[in-house]
C-alpha cells in the first residue's frame, strides 16, 4: 500500500536525498513535492530559476526511489514582497506572470498543480487583503484552464475561513474537491465546505479525522531548512504515524487507502 506525504519541501541547502531516504526507509512511498521560495526574488527570471531548482530536486527524490508529484507557484506572501518594489498593478502583473509560467509547466506535464497559492496567514491592511483575494481568484481561474490541482496557503482553517475560501473558488468556477487546504487542523475538517483538507500529521488530528471518518490527506510540511532541522514535522512522521495508527486500529484499511492512494490519485492524477 502507498503512503503519501501530501506536503513536502526539499531545499538545495538542506538534507535533500537524505530526507527522502528517511521517508522511504520509514515506509513512505510517494511525495507531493511543493515548491518554496529559496531566496528573495523580484523579477520573473529569478522565480523561473527557483522553480527549475525544485524540478531538479524532484529528480533527485525519484532517483532515491520515491514517486513524486510536483506542485509549484509563487507563494502568496510574495505578492506583498513585490509591493515593496512595485505599485499594485505591476506587482500583480509579475505575480500572475509567475502563475502563468506554472500553468505552462502543467500543460507540459512537468508539474501536476499549482501551490502554494493563497493569501497571507497574518494580519494585513484591507487593501492588501482585498488584492490578495482578487489575485487568488484570478490564479484559480488560470489553474482551472489547464485542469491543475491547487494547494492553498492561508490563515488557520476554521469553518468560517473554509466557507470564505470555498466562496473564492466558486467565483473562479474552480472545483473545490481539487482545492487542497494545506496545514489543516480539526477546524478545517469540521466543515470543509467541499475543499479537500491536508491534515498536519499529529496524533490528535489523525484520531479525530479517523473517528469522524472525515475525508483528508496527511502531511508534514517538512521544510528541509538547515537552520530548523525537522521543521515543521520530520520526514519520517507520516509513514510512522500512519503505520502505528493502522496497527492500533485507529484507521482501518479503507481509510488507509483513501488517505494515501484514492484522494491523492484523484487530486494529482499522476505520481512519477
Domain covering 4-268 in this structure, CATH number: 3.20.20.140
d(Cα 198, Cα 211) in Å, to the nearest integer?
16
Distance (Å) of CA 138 to CA 95, 110, 195: 11, 22, 18
Tell me the per-residue pLDDT of 222-271, one tens digit each, with 9 for 90 and over. Answer: 999 999 999 999 999 999 999 999 999 999 999 999 999 999 999 999 99
Q: For residue 191, count CB atoms less than 10 angstroms from its CB and return exposed for 0-12, middle for 13-18, buried for 19 or more.
A: middle
- Confidence at 82, pLDDT banded by 50, 70, 90: very high
Across residues 170-189, what is the average pLDDT? 96
d(Cα 127, Cα 129) in Å, to the nearest integer?
5
pTM: 0.97
Tell me the per-residue pLDDT of 184-207, one tens digit each, with 9 for 90 and over. Answer: 999 999 999 999 999 999 999 999
> What pLDDT score does 135 carry?
98
Enumerate the H helices of the chain as residue ranges: 17-25, 44-64, 76-82, 88-107, 126-145, 159-171, 186-190, 203-211, 237-247, 253-257, 263-268
Percentage of residues of the chain with pLDDT beyond 90: 99
Across residues 76-98, what is the average pLDDT? 97
d(Cα 76, Cα 44) in Å, to the nearest integer?
15
- In this model, does residue 213 exceed pLDDT 90? no
> What pLDDT score does 192 carry?
96
- In this model, does residue 11 exceed pLDDT 90? yes
Q: Are the CB atoms for 162 and 154 separated by under 8 Å?
A: no
- Confidence at 48, pLDDT banded by 50, 70, 90: very high
Each domain of the chain, given as residue ranges in start order, spans 4-268
Checking DSSP bridges between strand 196-200 and strand 217-219, what pairing results, if any?
parallel
Percentage of residues of the chain with pLDDT beyond 70: 100
| Cell numbers describing residue 185 | 487542523
Tell me the per-residue pLDDT of 131-168, one tens digit each, with 9 for 90 and over. Answer: 999 999 999 999 999 999 999 999 999 999 999 999 99
Amino acid at each position: 500500500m502507498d503512503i503519501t506525504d501530501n506536503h513536502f519541501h526539499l531545499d538545495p541547502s538542506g538534507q535533500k536525498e537524505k530526507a527522502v531516504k528517511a521517508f522511504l526507509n520509514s515506509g513512505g512511498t510517494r511525495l507531493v513535492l511543493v515548491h518554496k521560495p529559496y531566496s528573495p526574488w523580484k523579477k520573473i527570471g529569478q522565480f523561473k530559476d527557483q522553480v527549475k531548482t525544485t524540478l531538479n530536486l524532484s529528480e533527485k527524490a525519484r532517483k532515491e526511489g520515491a514517486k513524486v508529484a510536483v506542485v509549484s507557484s509563487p507563494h502568496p506572501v510574495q505578492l506583498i514582497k513585490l509591493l515593496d518594489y512595485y505599485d499594485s498593478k505591476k506587482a500583480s502583473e509579475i505575480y500572475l506572470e509567475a502563475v502563468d509560467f506554472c500553468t505552462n509547466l502543467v500543460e507540459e506535464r512537468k508539474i501536476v498543480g499549482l501551490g502554494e497559492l493563497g493569501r497571507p496567514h497574518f494580519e494585513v491592511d484591507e487593501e492588501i487583503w482585498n488584492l490578495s483575494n482578487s489575485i487568488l481568484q484570478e490564479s484559480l481561474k488560470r489553474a482551472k484552464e489547464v485542469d491543475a490541482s491547487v494547494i492553498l496557503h492561508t490563515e488557520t482553517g476554521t469553518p468560517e475561513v473554509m466557507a470564505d475560501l470555498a466562496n473564492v473558488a466558486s467565483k473562479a468556477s474552480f472545483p473545490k474537491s481539487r482545492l487542497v487546504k494545506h496545514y489543516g487542523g480539526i477546524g478545517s475538517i469540521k466543515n470543509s465546505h467541499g475543499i479537500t483538507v491536508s491534515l498536519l500529521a499529529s496524533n490528535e488530528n489523525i484520531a479525530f479525522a479517523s473517528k469522524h471518518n472525515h475525508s483528508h490527506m496527511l502531511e508534514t510540511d517538512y521544510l528541509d531548512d538547515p537552520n530548523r532541522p525537522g521543521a515543521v514535522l520530520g520526514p519520517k512522521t507520516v509513514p510512522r504515524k500512519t503505520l502505528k495508527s493502522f496497527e492500533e486500529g485507529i484507521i482501518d484499511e479503507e481509510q488507509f487507502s483513501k488517505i494515501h492512494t484514492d484522494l491523492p490519485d484523484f487530486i494529482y492524477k499522476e505520481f512519477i
